[in-house]
Structure 1
């Protein structure tokens, strides 16, 4: 009769359970897969499938009792690591969302909003346009495969049980300013062009006060804004590549990869 000890059962459970929690936390937080467009059950099934593929190729897991306090701490640590990686990807995506919202406000399109199906909140339509655009670019350039590669590498460079340092959380917090700066840089050409348009309307109003310039200023600003966005979209690929490289490099820094 086959007899199994508690240590053997705990080792088998830990070998699968610890990677599963890190993978599931990443898929629950990361863009595209971690949004409301993908049901939670589908994300869980995908986490199980990835764990089944990765576990046989991972380093040995700590031998702990599956129901002990130490196992609970290790599970919490894996959830924190996975959520940290997913949140870092969210920063890269939200740089484009911030750029779209800033441009919408400058061109007077801030009143036109729609429900973002990924987050369930109301956002300007131009911000939603940039969100869909960067999502398609991310998938077309196999960004999701790079993320899964970094995830698999994290079990080697940041193994289960080694622990997180405060530098990881400080690094992620420090990148919040980077996201806002990246969004401003993306929107800077459009902001500058729209500022010139508004200054021209102001000069015309000052030169001819009897003319109601602002009656045509609002629709003309909208038209000019759309033209500027259309012209600027020709360079969106190079801007995405720079931000994607920065974001994916940050992922590798977080898991201590070279």
Structure 2
């Protein structure tokens, strides 16, 4: 008859469950996989599959009693680390969605909304278009594979039981201000061009008060906004690559991966 000691059970539980909680937390929060389009059961199966592949290559985990307070604290630590991984990626993706919404509002296309199937909320069509475009580009450059590689290396650089380095994460949170600069970089050229068009219509209204500016200005602003948006997409690939590299670099710094 096979008999297992408490030490053996605790070792197996810690060796498999602690990585599973970190991986599952990231998959539940990160974009693409962590959206409403992917059922929770599929995310759980994917987390189990990744854990089965990674666990044999990971360093030894701390052996603790599965029902002790220390094990609960270790699980909470893994969930926080995995959730922060997903949160950094969410910031990167929603940067483009918000930029598309700002441009849509400026060009008068804000009334054209659709339900975002990933979040279940109504957003302008340009924001949804930007989010879909960024998702496809991120998968095309194998960004999801880079994220999984950083996650696997984080078990070496951020081992379980080491504790959360609050000072390091606080400094990293201060560096996330690049998101605001990136949003301005995306929206400022198009918003400036649309502002010039609106100023031109204002001058026309002042010069010819009898001109019905609403019947002329609204469709023309909408058409010019679409043209400006189309022209702005010509260099979108290089801009996306630079921002994606910055986001993955922030993710590496969070995981202390060099």
The TM-score with structure 2 as length reference comes to 0.97
| Structure 1 residue 6: Cα displacement | 0.5
- Residues paired across the two proteins, number: 258
Asked if 1:257 corresponds to 2:257, the answer is yes
Distance 2:134 2:144 in 1: 12
Look up the SS of the partner of 2:210 in the other structure: coil
Query: Bigger shift: 207-216 or 60-69?
Result: 207-216
Assess, with a 3 A threshold, how the Cα gap between structure 1 residues 190 and 153 changes in structure 2: closer, same or farther.
Answer: same
Distance 1:224 1:167 in 2: 48
- Listed as ranges, the gaps of 5+ residues in structure 1 are none
Asked if 1:241 corresponds to 2:241, the answer is yes
Distance 2:81 2:89 in 1: 13
| Structure 1 residue 165: Cα displacement | 1.3
Query: Bigger shift: 165-174 or 241-250?
Result: 165-174
| Structure 1 residue 183: Cα displacement | 1.4
Look up the SS of the partner of 1:256 in the other structure: coil
| Structure 1 residue 5: Cα displacement | 1.1
Distance 1:104 1:166 in 2: 39
Cα shift readout 1:88-128 (whole Å, capped 9, x = no counterpart): 00111111011101101100111111111111111111000
Structure 2 partner of 1:41? 41
Look up the SS of the partner of 1:34 in the other structure: coil
The TM-score with structure 1 as length reference comes to 0.97
Structure 1 partner of 2:218? 218
| Structure 1 residue 225: Cα displacement | 0.5
Look up the SS of the partner of 2:74 in the other structure: helix
| Structure 1 residue 166: Cα displacement | 1.2
Structure 2 partner of 1:52? 52
Look up the SS of the partner of 2:211 in the other structure: coil
